[in-house]
Amino acid sequence: MRGAWRAVLAAVAIAAGAAAAEPPLRDWGGKPTPPLELRDVAGRGVDLRKLEGRVVLVNFWATWCEPCIAEMPAIQRLRAKLDGRPFEVLAVNYGESRPKVEAYLR
């Protein structure tokens, strides 16, 4: 599990660096993608391994987490700034019910 967290932090660091200075995106270096398979709000499967070749920002959040909520607009701006580049955002809410998350998103 420690390796998976390093991978997430590395993806965040790469994304932050790309947003600040906009250098070319760096290759992951052939390391295995950490396992992360979830369902999106529409019920479709999302598998981190299928996003190979892209920088992926994985953001774990909750409706009760004020810092999480405060950072969402900045993450949306980053996503918009990197539109058209191989960059994805996975916003993961783990542990809250689907109806609660859907109500919050509305």
pLDDT tens-digit profile, the chain (106 residues) = 444 444 444 444 444 444 555 677 677 677 777 788 888 888 889 888 888 888 899 999 999 999 998 999 999 999 999 999 999 999 999 889 989 988 988 8
Whether 55 and 16 have beta carbons less than 8 Å apart is answered as no
* Per-residue pLDDT, 77: 95
Backbone angles phi, psi at 4, to 5 degrees: -65, -40
* Per-residue pLDDT, 32: 79
CATH class of the structural domain 2-105? alpha beta
Measure Cα distances from 60 to 17, 19, 22, 83, 97 in Å: 20, 20, 24, 21, 15
**pTM here?**
0.64
| Angle, CA of 32, 49 and 100, to the nearest 5° | 130
